[in-house]
């Protein structure tokens, strides 16, 4: 179990989340089914996505966002889930798309899931970090979150930050700033790569594999937002244009550092649970690590 000292910012964020959640619409009012035959429960606030050998399933948000804080409670398929991938991510459209990924790679019975994270900007990815979790993600719902603002992308597990990807466009690192994204969720078969590099295949005798999603929340985070859920504000003016609940973030002159609690908690969780970091993969990047890895 990971613990941290209480902080005023944490309390403010929690109160803000409760306030937003108490007035939010049901999940089915904010999403649309994109495939398969999921089960809708609890008055439209729980969606069970099913994976069978003949079909997969998924859903997407009805709204697009240009910067947002999105939260989803997920309970992953239990037992032998090797070969399956359960996802919660944001993405734009087109070849030069932007994407922010949370993917849960299934495993053999008794082996932990791998949480795979990645960031694409203008069609360029290869920024993977992978983690084990400090709990059983199949036993109960846990909250997974993406904060995307003009300065940072922060991945959270149960409100704890596990990864920060900072806007470093100034040194030539692509960062999503101009393409609105929808929120997506799916479960699908990827046994050519998902489990131990594809060595362990999906056992269809265990189908259907069911991933349960609940309490989807999305809070737009345009450049002008004052919500503590949207993270720190830029230390220099940001020009904002309204589009699907967000500004384009262009004109950002300085990128503020994250707060001390976020930095310390991220380092702690990465030290304990991170199993792959592209910024440490010198074999993969034999010609030199990507420029954002310098810090």
Q: Which residues are catalytic?
A: 99, 103
Is there a contact between 278 and 128 (Cβ–Cβ < 8 Å)?
Answer: yes
* Helical residues (DSSP H) of the chain, grouped into ranges: 8-23, 260-273
**Residue from 127, 119, 130 nearest 92 by CA:** 119
Cis peptide before 192 (omega within 30 of 0): no
The C-alpha atoms of residue 50 and residue 241 are separated, in whole angstroms, by 39
The C-alpha atoms of residue 151 and residue 156 are separated, in whole angstroms, by 16
- Cα-flanking dihedrals φ and ψ of residue 146, to 5°? -125, 125
The C-alpha atoms of residue 23 and residue 273 are separated, in whole angstroms, by 35
Q: Residue 66 corresponds to which tokens in the numbers above?
A: 């240009």
**Residue from 279, 270, 236, 64 nearest 150 by CA:** 236
Tokens 């466009």 -> residue? 169
Q: Residue 50 corresponds to which tokens in the numbers above?
A: 């099913």
Burial class for 26, CB neighbours closer than 10 Å (0-12, 13-18, 19+): middle
Residues near 57 by Cβ (< 8 Å), separated by ≥ 6? 33, 34, 35, 36, 37, 38, 49, 50, 51, 186, 187
The C-alpha atoms of residue 160 and residue 150 are separated, in whole angstroms, by 20
């Amino acid at each position: 179990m990971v613990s941290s000292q209480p902080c005023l910012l944490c309390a403010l964020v929690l109160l803000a989340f409760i306030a937003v959640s108490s007035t939010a619409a049901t999940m089915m009012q904010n999403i649309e089914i994109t495939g398969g035959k999921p089960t809708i429960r609890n008055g439209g606030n729980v969606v069970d996505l099913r994976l069978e050998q003949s079909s997969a399933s998924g859903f997407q948000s009805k709204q697009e966002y240009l910067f947002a804080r999105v939260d989803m409670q997920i309970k992953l398929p239990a037992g032998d889930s090797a070969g399956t991938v359960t996802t919660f991510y944001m993405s734009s459209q087109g070849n030069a798309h932007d994407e922010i990924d949370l993917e849960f790679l299934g495993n053999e019975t008794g082996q932990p899931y791998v949480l795979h994270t990645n960031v694409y900007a203008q069609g360029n990815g290869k920024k993977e970090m992978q983690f084990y979790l400090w709990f059983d993600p199949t036993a109960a719902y846990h909250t997974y979150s993406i904060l995307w603002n003009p300065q940072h992308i922060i991945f959270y597990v149960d409100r704890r930050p596990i990864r920060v990807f900072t806007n470093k466009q100034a040194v030539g690192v692509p960062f999503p700033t101009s393409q609105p994204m929808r929120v997506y969720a799916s479960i699908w078969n990827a046994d050519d790569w998902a489990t131990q590099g594809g060595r362990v295949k999906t056992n269809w005798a265990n189908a259907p594999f069911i991933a349960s999603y609940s309490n989807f929340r999305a809070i737009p985070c345009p450049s002008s937002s004052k919500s503590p859920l949207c993270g720190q504000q830029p230390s220099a003016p940001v020009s904002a244009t309204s589009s699907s609940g967000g500004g384009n973030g262009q004109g950002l002159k300085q990128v503020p550092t994250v707060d001390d609690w976020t930095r310390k908690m991220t380092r702690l969780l990465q030290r304990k649970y991170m199993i792959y970091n592209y910024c440490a993969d010198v074999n993969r990047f034999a010609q030199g690590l990507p420029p954002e890895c310098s810090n």
